Amino acid sequence: MDYLKEFNSKLQSLDRSKSIETVFKDFLTLSAYSLAQPFYQSEELEQKYLDVAKQYTKEQVEIFGEMLALLVSALEEKHQDFLGQIFSMNNFGNAKKGQFFTPYHVSKLMSELTGYNVRIDMENKDILTLSEPCCGSGGMVIAFAESMKETGYNYQHQLFVEAVDIDELCFKMTYIQLALLGIPAKVIMGDSLSMRYYEVLYTPFYFLNRFDLKLKRYKSDEQNTMKPRVGQEIPTIQLNLF
């Protein structure tokens, strides 16, 4: 099945009284909060979901569910930046904001170039941390996770990502795709430069694989590593991702 074509067809025909971008934004909102709610049990998230859902008929909400199922199937088939492709296909990008997403095959090539450093960095650590200050739709994070898997590591247990973007669509696209791929992550809507953050969501695998405890151990190990014996130099490994 051509998942992109099927998804885009449903997107464009779901509610012609609204712009396609509005329908896409609402799909992202419904999907993001439905994925997060079981772990947050938040009245605020539930209300945000309901505020969007009530703008559509029951049949239209069911179509949103069908679109999410298509996304799930596409990501099960292969690692890819599915929502980023939908975003680009429909010209949702804003040139003034510099929203030009890197093609996935380029992201994959760039991530493969870090493979050697990953092996070095994982020799003495249980987990690897990755920061993406301008994540877009999460394509580079997805590519890095795929490369990590190909290198022989289980990113669902050994990778923690902090992904930031100031754009709401990007924030939700990244959260949904990382959540569905099982990538433990803290996804932030905010400005990386000014350090002003507006919304934060942790993906399901952050909770399922107890990354709160893993990160505490990781920080403790980092602090111990930075206390060298007399005359000992601190080994520095810098992971230059993208």
Range of the domain at 18: 3-225
Give the pLDDT of residue 232. Answer: 39
Q: Per the domain annotation, does 239 fall within a domain?
A: no
Q: Per the domain annotation, does 238 fall within a domain?
A: no
Q: Per the domain annotation, does 237 fall within a domain?
A: no
Q: In what order do the strands lie in the sheet with 185-191?
A: 128-132, 159-165, 185-191, 196-202
Q: What's the structural domain count of the chain? A: 1
Q: Per the domain annotation, does 236 fall within a domain?
A: no
Q: Per the domain annotation, does 53 fall within a domain?
A: yes
DSSP assignment of 18-85: S-HHHHHHHHHHHHHHHHHHHHH--HHHHHHHHHHHTTS-HHHHHHHHHHHHHHHHHHHH----HHHH
Q: Per the domain annotation, does 241 fall within a domain?
A: no
Per-residue pLDDT of the chain (242 residues; tens, 9 = 90+): 999 999 999 999 999 999 999 999 999 999 999 999 999 999 999 999 999 999 999 999 999 999 999 999 999 999 999 999 999 999 887 644 556 678 888 888 888 777 657 776 777 778 899 999 999 999 999 999 999 998 889 999 999 999 999 999 999 999 999 999 999 999 999 998 888 999 999 999 999 999 999 999 888 766 665 554 444 343 333 333 33
Give the pLDDT of residue 213. Answer: 94
Q: Per the domain annotation, does 85 fall within a domain?
A: yes
Task: Give the pTM.
Answer: 0.88
Q: Per the domain annotation, does 240 fall within a domain?
A: no
Neighbours of 56 (CB within 10 A): 18
Q: Rounded CA gap, 174 and 162, in Å? A: 11
